[in-house]
Structure 1
Amino acid sequence: MTTPFAPMPDAQGYFGPYGGQLVPPFLKQAMDDIGKAYAEITQRADFQQELRELQTDYVGRPSPIFHARRLSQQLGGAQIHLKREDLNHTGAHKINHCLGEALLARFMNKTKVIAETGAGQHGVALATACALVGIPCEIHMGQVDIEKEHPNVTKMRILGATLVPVTRGAATLKEAVDNAFEEYLKDPTNYFYAIGSVVGPHPFPMMVRDFQSIVGREAREQFLGKHGKLPDYAAACVGGGSNAMGLFTAFLEDESVKLVGVEPAGEGTDKPGRHAATLTMGKPGEIHGMKCYVLEDAPGVPAAVHSIASGLDYPGIGPQHSYLKDIGRVQYEVADDKETLDAYMRLSRVEGIVPALESAHAVAWAMRVAPGLGKEVNILVNLSGRGDKDADYVAHKLGL
């Protein structure tokens, strides 16, 4: 019997009614060229071997799963387990797709790789991958995020990336995406736009998901091998949605595993412009070359968004997430700024693991629900990044 999950996407890049390739005709050809190259190059033995070797010897895969015993014991309910993507080289899951995209750009003989970044983790990972493969890298980042995520800005510059500050609008992630895409349009034949999440026109939501799916494949095998069963819940934070799709993909057809995406409620979902809970509060629309759920002030006008985590403040969402919400396969919840900060500090002080503020949203949800679940219940959280990038900001905010 055909499942709702295969094939995804279809030949036109749609996940149900979401996705697609909503771009001008001249750009459609460039997108199609990338899709064709992706389909061909990623099947080549030399590409696969080089990527596997880099995943092992450069990134440090597989990342382990850690049982947060002390935290679980303190909460008095379900057992919380962490997929430690924070231990990857560059400190987050972003390196998984950045290596794939940089290698693809090199195989396609591109002359420059362009990208946006919010929290800076995608920027650092891409600058790292481009240094490794020898391609110039240009990163567009909102001025607000540059000031908030200074350690990552410094790393990008050390790695040789050209950093382009974006000062228009809210000067955060959406504006960085707009700016980077405009630069890419100047020469799509020679430039490669390395999108940092499962968003944008086809084939990018598919490509980034595929490169990130190693997270879920590892986690499924590791958990099954260690516990003889699958986790009861698999949870991840959701902004654009790459780390969540990386985890969820391996479990989509395991009906026993409840999948939970945790969006940023910011200062409250009842405060327009002060949250980024796209799937919770948005509606179907169009943004950045795709159909998906969008937070809008008016049709075609994206709303202002906010999250304490720079990597989550995006008014759109990956099209596959939009589809998974509609069919009910993934449950989308929210965590606000306050409980995210609490989760950041508690995981740091109870387990000695400082999580990224993005990842702390998923930890916050797990902490909230664990006490109401039995001790035999297992929650697997994708700890998508480490929090040293956020340490100065958090310390200032909490007066530490």
Structure 2
Amino acid sequence: MNKTPAPNSFTNQPDDRGHFGDYGGRYVAETLMPLILDLEKEYRAAQDDPAFAEEFDDLLEHYVGRPSPLYYAERLTEEVRKDAPEGPKGEKRGAQIWFKRDELNHTGAHKINNCIGQILLAKRMGKTRIIAETGAGQHGVATATVCARFGLPCVIYMGAKDVERQQPNVFRMKLLGAEVVPVTSGGATLKDAMNEGLRDWVANVHDTFYIIGTAAGPHPYPELVRDFQSVIGHEARAQMLERVNRLPDLLVACIGGGSNALGLFHPFLDDPDVKMLGVEAAGLGLDGDDHAASLTGGAPGILHGNKTYLLQDEDGQITEGHSISAGLDYPGIGPEHAWLKENGRVEYDSCTDDEALQGFQLLCRTEGIIPALEPSHAIAKVVERARAMDQEKIILANLCGRGDKDIFTVAEALGVEI
């Protein structure tokens, strides 16, 4: 397991109560507090245990298939350069576009990295039952996968709306032995699935471990999820230095809760020349309510055990997020992202459903890669930023999931019957 860099202005750990600046913390039921404290204790012990790191790294290599490739998207770069405007001195524009290909992991997304780490923690704690929430289904599939691998029963909570639009992943979870529970409360999406997961956890705290899928939730989840996902950035850093002998100029990743983005960004936070861009889901546009851009259109509040930016109404009630991508419609953001926004280290932008669909199709026809709708949001912004950058500049984006699960959603959006 890659350890976090030494503490400094940007990569410092949260404080003892789990705060990144004003964000984070652990706002949980009294019943859960002893387990949360025990989880933190076990995680600190695991960080100092060479045997834990050895097993984690072994599974990432031989089960997940890491390191994932670092790929230069030559045809996409050429496509961008065709209509890129010249610079003020006539210089040619169109930055090089590279991808960290985490969609090639076992289960098809970055989620498996974190699930491997958390199932090992569950084993250390003697837990015999696993629960999880899922939106697009990729975290649910990854959780069901590690539970099958280690012989533990698991229950996956999934919004009923997401169950309908992610049928391939629902079937995969069931094939892997998981019980999938559709959640009909609220907007029947990811937020509501996480609510049900927390209710289950409170009722079954003695034997149950909750594998949270993103860098949110009560401390220590935002920290430990980020650390397990940081394998993405550590690999990318070493691969970039080996391939081109320098670091990228810009990192780009999509953001729902934000684990894939933090996984890429965190090992680069103390490199001042490496800029970073997180891309939220603008849905049908930021002018209305049909979006999931909590950093742009939200305000600080408390949800799912932590303080962060949330979509909420005038009374502080959480509103529903919207995105064509089931993995990006969470109405909040990981607390470390809230802190990185406020201290200015990471820039945050958003991408509409239509722009994501364009990015999806562009990568398909230029590189022969069918991306998930989540990283398609990042691809759209990569193309936009690359056109404004000189040709010697390098953009590295995290291709955090593959698009098998989204074929039916994309076909419906494009008016195609399958």
The normalised TM-score by structure 2 is 0.94
- Which of 249, 257, 267 lines up with 2:274 in the alignment? 257
Contact 1:286 1:300 in 2 (8 A): no
Q: CA deviation at 1:2?
A: 7.0
1:157-168 aligned within 5 A = 157-168=174-185
Q: C-alpha offsets along residues 72-110 of structure 1, whole Å, 9 cap, x if unaligned?
A: 111111111010000000000000000111111112110
1:7 aligns with 2:12: yes
3-state DSSP of counterpart to 1:302: coil
CA distance in 2, matches of 1:17, 1:189: 31
1:266 aligns with 2:283: yes
Q: C-alpha offsets along residues 362-385 of structure 1, whole Å, 9 cap, x if unaligned?
A: 111001121121111110000000
Q: CA deviation at 1:299?
A: 4.2
Question: Could you tell me which residue of structure 1 aligns to residue 401 of structure 2?
Answer: 385
Contact 1:103 1:133 in 2 (8 A): no
1:43 aligns with 2:59: no
Question: Could you tell me which residue of structure 2 aligns to residue 227 of structure 1?
Answer: 244
**AA partner of residue 197 (structure 1):** T
- Which of 12, 35, 39 lines up with 1:34 in the alignment? 39
Question: Could you tell me which residue of structure 2 aligns to residue 17 of structure 1?
Answer: 22
1:371 aligns with 2:387: yes
Question: Could you tell me which residue of structure 2 aligns to residue 237 of structure 1?
Answer: 254
Question: Could you tell me which residue of structure 2 aligns to residue 74 of structure 1?
Answer: 79
**AA partner of residue 14 (structure 2):** P
3-state DSSP of counterpart to 2:206: coil
1:318 aligns with 2:334: yes
Q: CA deviation at 1:304?
A: 1.5
Q: CA deviation at 1:127?
A: 0.4
Q: C-alpha offsets along residues 273-315 of structure 1, whole Å, 9 cap, x if unaligned?
A: x000011111111111101111101344111210011011011
Contact 2:284 2:291 in 1 (8 A): yes
- Which of 302, 322, 327 lines up with 2:318 in the alignment? 302
CA distance in 2, matches of 1:26, 1:299: 28
CA distance in 2, matches of 1:29, 1:301: 28
Q: CA deviation at 1:111?
A: 1.6
Q: CA deviation at 1:150?
A: 0.7
Question: Could you tell me which residue of structure 2 aligns to residue 86 of structure 1?
Answer: 103
CA distance in 2, matches of 1:8, 1:269: 33
Question: Could you tell me which residue of structure 1 aligns to residue 154 of structure 2?
Answer: 137
Q: CA deviation at 1:26?
A: 2.6
**AA partner of residue 210 (structure 2):** Y
Question: Could you tell me which residue of structure 2 aligns to residue 359 of structure 1?
Answer: 375
- Which of 143, 157, 180 lines up with 2:197 in the alignment? 180
Contact 2:11 2:270 in 1 (8 A): no
CA distance in 2, matches of 1:300, 1:42: 38
1:184-195 aligned within 5 A = 184-195=201-212
Contact 1:199 1:319 in 2 (8 A): yes
Q: CA deviation at 1:181?
A: 0.8
Q: CA deviation at 1:68?
A: 0.6
Question: Could you tell me which residue of structure 1 aligns to residue 116 of structure 2?
Answer: 99
3-state DSSP of counterpart to 1:370: helix
Contact 2:96 2:395 in 1 (8 A): yes
Q: CA deviation at 1:6?
A: 4.1
**AA partner of residue 12 (structure 1):** R
Q: C-alpha offsets along residues 228-275 of structure 1, whole Å, 9 cap, x if unaligned?
A: 110000010000000000000010000000010000000001111x00
Q: CA deviation at 1:349?
A: 1.1
**AA partner of residue 367 (structure 1):** V
CA distance in 2, matches of 1:292, 1:90: 29
Question: Could you tell me which residue of structure 2 aligns to residue 128 of structure 1?
Answer: 145
Unaligned runs of 5+ in 1: none
- Which of 55, 60, 64 lines up with 1:55 in the alignment? 60
Question: Could you tell me which residue of structure 2 aligns to residue 213 of structure 1?
Answer: 230
Q: CA deviation at 1:357?
A: 0.2
Q: CA deviation at 1:353?
A: 0.3
Contact 2:7 2:13 in 1 (8 A): no
Contact 2:11 2:269 in 1 (8 A): no
CA distance in 1, matches of 2:12, 2:273: 21
CA distance in 2, matches of 1:298, 1:114: 33
Unaligned runs of 5+ in 2: 1-5, 82-93
Question: Could you tell me which residue of structure 2 aligns to residue 170 of structure 1?
Answer: 187
CA distance in 2, matches of 1:384, 1:146: 21
Identity of aligned residues (%): 51
Q: C-alpha offsets along residues 157-184 of structure 1, whole Å, 9 cap, x if unaligned?
A: 0000010000111100000010111111
